[in-house]
Amino acid sequence: MAGLDPRITDASSKLFAEASSLMPGGVNSPVRAFGSVGSEPFFVRSASGAEITDVDGNSYVDFVQSWGALLFGHAHPRIVEAVTAAASKGTSFGTPSELEVELARLVVGMVPGIEKVRFVSSGTEAAMTGVRLARGATGRNKIIKFAGCYHGHLDSLLVAAGSGVATLGIPGTPGVTEATTADTIVIPFNDLVALQTAIEAAGNDLAAILIEPVAANMGLILPHDGYLEGVRKLATEAGALLVFDEVITGFRLGPGGAQERFGIVADLVLLGKIVGGGLPAAALAGSAELLDELAPTGPVYQAGTLSGNPVAMAAGIATLEMITEDENLYGRLQERARDLVRGLIDAADRAEVPMVAAAIGALGGFFFSGDEIEDYEGAESTDPDVYARFFRGMLAHGFYLPPSRFEALFISDAHTEEHIDGFASAAAAVFATP
């Protein structure tokens, strides 16, 4: 497959060399360096719809979509227009604007069980605030998280954190003290017995159970039937808050995210990625009673210079409005996600390559494995080199997949049937290449 790469990458290589002398690994977020797929990143010149074009002029059908931040593809005219209009009126005020009220109204109207939101600038901040609020509101300390679930790079949660950390094989990370993670309990996903045991061990000091309802940072792993119901029940019985990290699933599984999809209401919801429409915005959401524990109404401190940034709010509003206006959107997205995965599985079957795959909402995922994968241990047991070869082969055919086997495939409304069919054909060609 290595000899198959027809791309000219001179301009990207040159930029990467300079970038590497100026920024660690040449990037500002580790997985972008393509290290785990044995390659070098392409540098983007521009992107439109489902396609992304690099500085050497190569175009790729993009199944990363800014790691899921884009539901309508790159540079959607309506979002660009909203951003441009907002920017022309001022890019940051540090004082309230109507746009925050508008986006908050939309979020509260779409996400089940919530009454108030606090906007922040990244999913990491939303998780950090959520953990602090859960501890502040309950007066308890311990947090249960799940191996392979990722909640951003806050210190206390950087234990068995999937995605970038898993890709790099960093067990937690240097720089985080044992004291910082001492109140973090890590257990396997999809295992209610382990959860029960962990809850018992935490005694009456459990503040929250924090979970990605659909795990999308260790590949894509769906919750077993009844699992989330069980988690909800155990959290309630333990007097702990259930925090759904819907930074990926929010507005991707449906307008109401995983809560709506599975009919389960969490106590706190973390939103990010799509809620900012491709700009830096994220949110913590929940009941008025809980959210009012945050300063200035409550004692739990949290703040941000660029929180509720007008340009980001405008992008979020345009995105959520497009979601509410199109009642066929998620049916269409789900169908494409299923077609994508089905085409891939068929190609793998024909080539006798062992593969399991899943699709839900506008998310797809696959593992090179003959067995079902249901937790991080399973995901980790898959062969990184097999994924890396497939990644490079697909890139050579003009399809950009996540540069890590621990990420999901992101489908946008800009992906057409041709893109989906092309993906399957390219996969077949890659499998056929010795």
Ligand X SMILES: *Cc1c(COP(=O)(O)O)cnc(C)c1O
- Could you give the residue numbers annotated as active site? 150, 245, 273
Q: What span, in angstroms and rounded, lies between the C-alpha atoms of 193 and 231? A: 10
In the window 279-308, what residues touch ligand X (CB under 6 A)?
Answer: 282
Contacts (CB under 6 A) with ligand X, residues 192-211: none
Q: How far is CA 149 from CA 28, 188, 263, 395, 408, in A?
A: 21, 9, 21, 27, 12
CB of 315 to ligand X, least distance (A): 14
**Residues 271/285, Cβ–Cβ less than 8 Å:** yes
CB of 282 to ligand X, least distance (A): 6
397/368 Cα distance (integer angstroms): 19
Peptide bond into 296 cis (omega under 30): yes
* DSSP summary character for residue 28: S
What's at 229, amino acid-wise? E
Q: Which stretch binds ligand X (CB under 6 A): 118-126, 170-178, 344-352, 387-395?
A: 118-126
Among 9, 138, 217, 412, which residue interacts with ligand X (rule: CB under 6 A)? 217
**Residue 337 neighbours by CB under 8 Å, 6+ apart:** 359, 360, 361, 362, 363, 364, 409, 411
- For residue 262, what are the contacts with CB-CB under 8 A and spacing of at least 6? 213, 223, 228, 229
- We find the least distance from the C-beta atom of residue 168 to ligand X, in angstroms, to be 15
Residue 367 interacts with ligand X (CB under 6 A)? no
Q: Please, which residue, 125 or 339, has the CB nearer to ligand X?
A: 125
Q: Build a one-symbol-per-residue string for 121-140: x at contacts with ligand X by CB under 6 A, - elsewhere.
A: -xxx--x-------------
Q: Does 309 bind ligand X (CB under 6 A)?
A: no
Q: Which of the stretches 38-46, 144-152, 166-174, 191-199 binds ligand X when contact is defined by CB under 6 A? A: 144-152
Q: Does 150 contact ligand X by CB under 6 A?
A: yes
**Closer to ligand X at the Cβ: 150 or 390?**
150
**CB of 353 vs ligand X, minimal distance in Å:** 28
Binding span for ligand X by CB under 6 A among 117-125, 132-140, 254-262, 391-399: 117-125
Per CB under 6 A, 166 contacts ligand X? no
Contact between 212 and ligand X per CB under 6 A: yes
Contact call for residue 62 and ligand X (CB under 6 A):
no
CA distances (Å), origin 74, targets 61, 65, 71, 78, 140: 11, 7, 9, 11, 43
The C-alpha angle with vertex 197 and arms to 196 and 199, in degrees rounded to 5, equals: 65
- Strand, coil or helix: what is 400? strand
* Strand, helix or coil for residue 292: coil
Decide: is 364 part of the binding site for ligand X (CB under 6 A): no
Residue 277 contacts ligand X per CB under 6 A:
no
When the beta carbons of 366 and 431 are compared against ligand X, the nearer one is 366
Q: Does 147 bind ligand X (CB under 6 A)?
A: no
Q: Are 398 and 54 in contact (CB under 8 A)?
A: no
Q: Determine the 3-state secondary structure of 74 from DSSP.
A: strand
The answer to whether 144 and 195 have CB atoms below 8 angstroms apart is yes
In 252-375, which ranges are continuous DSSP H helix? Answer: 257-262, 288-291, 310-325, 329-350
Block residue for tokens 């940072």: 217
Residue 431 binds ligand X (CB under 6 A): no
The residue with its CB nearest to ligand X is 123
Asked if 151 is part of the footprint of ligand X (rule: CB under 6 A), the reply reads: yes
Q: Does position 407 bind ligand X by CB under 6 A?
A: no
Q: Identify which of residues 274 and 323 has a Cβ nearer to ligand X in the complex.
A: 274
Distance of closest approach, residue 249 Cβ to ligand X, in angstroms: 8
Residue list 229-268, contact with ligand X (CB under 6 A): 245, 247-248
Task: With CB under 6 A as the rule, give the number of residues binding ligand X.
Answer: 14
By CB under 6 A, name the binding residues for ligand X.
122-124, 127, 150-152, 212, 217, 245, 247-248, 272, 282
